[in-house]
Chain A
Amino acid sequence: MSRLFVYLIPVFVIAVFMVMAHFERRVAHDPTHRGFFDRNGTVLGIAFIALVAFWTLFLVVLPYLYMVQESFHPKLVAAERGGPKDILTLEQYRSFFIQPTDGEVNTTHLWAFFFSLAASAAVTVLNFAICYPLAYYMAQAGSVQKVRLLMLALIVPYWVNEILRAFSLRLLLASKGLINQVLMGLGLTDAPVDFLGNNVGLYVGLSYAYLLVMMFPLYNAVESLDKNQIEAARDLGAPWWRIHKDVVIPYAKPGIASGCTMVFMLSAGSLAAPQFLGGPKTLWFTSIVYDFFFQAFNWPRGAAYAFLLLAGCIALVMLMLRVFKVSLGETIR
């Protein structure tokens, strides 16, 4: 019974939405306005609403709510669900901070959480630094033909899936890999450098995986900047770095924010790069979640950790947007 409670939330949101739509229609009074079913025909109107409702309810909102709900329940076998043991509890969240087995502080998981977020933030900054010059060059200096060719060249590697891209990096960075062969051949090192063990592989892999995600929002943002503004700044004697700092970057801020948000969220939630390129001692937070599902079969705890990850990511993104004074609305546009 308690589990059905979640259905009240979407009902409430839909009610709010309807009230909002109705209210706005009355405020923006427009005699030529026609109702939704009037404008689309009854059959099509119902079909549109049904499709959108199926998506937003059954594929988006309800699954999220069920996951959150699961995280507040104890680990149960199927037969016990709905029985007397099926109570609401905070035990899964407590286990993130304090080991349920010995009552010690859960340093492993806490560290993994902060490491994942910090490493994702670092990868985000790295990708911005790598992509900004090319995005600027393509948007402001390149000819149309050249830009289209560059775009195509950017997209093609991304049709190879994430796993194989991680695999290709592993071939390069492994102790018997090409880079170590070159380094040893040149006599720069005697023993192979352990790129994968000390997480160089992880950072490179994450950066490589989401390069394009940074590139496109940046390009789109810089592209619409009027070239005359840059000319004007240059004519007034601004050095190149001030042109970027005071003209281009403020203008492209929404695009930068959206690229950074995407890269950060994707890295923090990534599974392939940490699994295949991370060192043996590195514990990425999504890998912990993965293990709760597939090794410990502790779904409630996995759900709780997943929810913590989501909450942590959103909190950090919001904080950053606040610090850099960008509104969320601008970012997702």
Chain B
Amino acid sequence: MFSFCTDPSVLPDWQWFACYFTNATHFQFYRAFGVVIVLLAVTAPVALAVGMLGAMALRSRIWPLNWLGKGYVNIVRGVPDLVFFLFVPIALGQGIEWVMHHIQCPDWDQPIRQGNDFIVCRDAKVPPLNSARWVYDLYAFAMAVTAFALVFGAFVANTLHGAMQAVPKAQVEAAEAYGMTRAQAFRRIVLPQMWVYAIPGLSNIWQILVKATPLLFLLGIQDIVYWARELGGQKTSLFTYPHDDWRMWYFLALLCFYLFLTWVSEFAFGRLNERLSRGQATAAGERQRKAAA
């Protein structure tokens, strides 16, 4: 990075640290923070969409759909995240390749499972063989988003379902009295009003999602916790920047990062709640009315 970094072993402290914090592994560490933020930014809307579908399935009067919703929510909520994250990348990865194999190579005469090995034909490999590294990275990232969205979608589904139930029945009855169908009443009355009841639950799930990002390493993505452990571990004289065990400092930095992230989101959820309470028949909405009057 800096011109004086060619031989760090002879540098005075401040220059040594300047070089140390700008070496290649640290840049990978800094990049990992971006990966975590992007993962959160992508996963949150996807999980919300999955949760909305789940909540609608839970409400559904069509029983297969209702059972599907109940099955999904209860199974996923009942399995430890860790187990799910170990399961998804391998099971989903093999599942996709299995399907591709049957589409691409119907004439294949060899078994897919040979002893311990999972073998599909060349054309069925996902990502395709000889893909560039970024394709593999993107695939791993998509797998991570899928795993997170499936797990957190189940919690979101339950929260949204509860929020939909919490919209006062009188509102729906009034809508029906105006001649709206069930679907219209849901779309025009329930959906816009349920958010104020959903926000506390959703903010909980968001905070848990933020804290769950270290599970990324199970999915083959080198996240900030991986790098903190890797960089903080003692480096012997084999390395360019030898040092003692500094993991405590690296983990302290992570602690600050996560606290900052949760503090910012707490603030954002507070503002959102205020906006959504406007004109609602809730205690917060009542307070706003009184303050305005």
Does A associate with B in a complex?
Answer: no
